[in-house]
Amino acid sequence: MQLLDAHARHYAWGSRTLIPELKGEEPGTRPVAELWFGAHPANPSTIGDERLDDIIAAAPEAMLGAQVCAKFDGRLPFLMKILAAGEPLSLQAHPTPEQARDGFEREDAAGIALDDPKRNYKDTSHKPEIIIALTDFYAMAGFRPLEQTRELFAALNCDGLAHYESMLVDSPEAEESNLRVLFTTWITIPAAIRTKLIEDVTVAAHEYVGSAEPGDWIAGVLRTVIALQEQYPGDPGVLGALLLNHIQLSPGEAVYLDAGELHAYVRGMGVEVMANSDNVLRGGLTSKHVDVPELVRVLNFEALSSPRVEQEDLSQHESLSGGAAWGYPVPIDEFSVVRCELSGDDSVELASSRPGIVLCTAGRTVIEHADPQAGPDPVTLSPGQAVWLPANAAPCKASVGEGAESTQLFIARA
């Protein structure tokens, strides 16, 4: 077990306060959008003066274990982050493994440098991801079922939408093609036509919100649409927001997004775990490169009834001595993630043949070897700090650090 030094990413959409407050620091002058814990070559964590990706490359089987090493070609297959959104992220989607390999090879063959702002594919991996809320968290995630979108359009009663409503044929067999036609039309129509449509939608949205009852889901969607138009006037993402599931997460709740799911995180802080990739295809709500044909090529237009992840209660797991734990089942092999809450003398064993990262998000966590003679001194983590547990690590356990009443930690493993 070794302390990981994570490097901050200062994107414009980040929050100036959320991550500094988590770490007990004063806000700085720049927004802090993400802390990366992992071995992605674009921004690897470090142990002392060494990059984690270099440490793994020097002894891949020892660090990853034989099975993970063979399956993922000697690379750590996941990336863990703390993400803090003060403003909406770009409307985006991620490719499948096949699309990522094809896109990476095409852009290499075209001579597009990896650091070129117009580069879509930074690596050959897909990027399925889960985000688990640390604060109240608002996200737009996946195309909602068309029945609900037709309900929203009818309630909005906007003359400018009438032409486009005709694209939403009431037929389950046509749902996917309907979404493809409508979204592709909106993202490709001339800017002047799109701007006028958004203005009409916004006027109708203000009228609806002004008379809506508390808890009206349509009013909640339209408030977000209005806010997006104020920040990104005339942007295609404002129209895209009309078609997506709008999800409010409480702390501990989670959303999982697979390849091709259109989404944008709007506000809040969470722990994000994903395949070890930085491939993003953007469709709006950003000043960065937007490649409409490539985005449409990777999108999954099948409606997503709910992107929420049902938590699995692990409180009776044999690794726990007191405390509580929850798992977040995901349909991929690159990672698993568990959230633990410990107090008093509670502890959780961390023994495994798979590599992992343990991240503290509240209180203080102490990690020590089961046999004090087996390794270095215990490591104490404050919120926003993490340790690397290689596959060959001696058995160890996590418990509440000195001076703290409780702790919350996330354990991600390959």
Binding-site entries for Zn(2+):
92, 94, 129, 263
Single-letter amino acid code for the residue at 343: S
Those residues with Cβ within 8 angstroms of residue 400's Cβ, 6 or more apart along the chain or in another chain: 342, 343, 344, 345, 346, 363, 364, 365, 366, 406, 407
Contact 354, 48 (CB under 8 A): no
Those residues with Cβ within 8 angstroms of residue 308's Cβ, 6 or more apart along the chain or in another chain: 247, 253, 254, 255
Backbone torsions φ then ψ of 358, nearest 5 degrees: -110, 120
Contact 14, 31 (CB under 8 A): yes
**What residues are paired with 12 via a beta bridge?**
none
User: What one-character DSSP code corresponds to residue 194?
Assistant: H
75, 144, 194, 282: the active-site residue: 282
Q: Does the active-site annotation cover 282?
A: yes
Give the per-residue SS3 of 348-385.
Answer: EECCCCCCEEEEEEEECEEEEECCCCCCCCCEEECCCC
Which parts are annotated binding residues? 92, 94, 129, 263
Let me know how long the chain is. 414
Active-site annotation, residues: 282
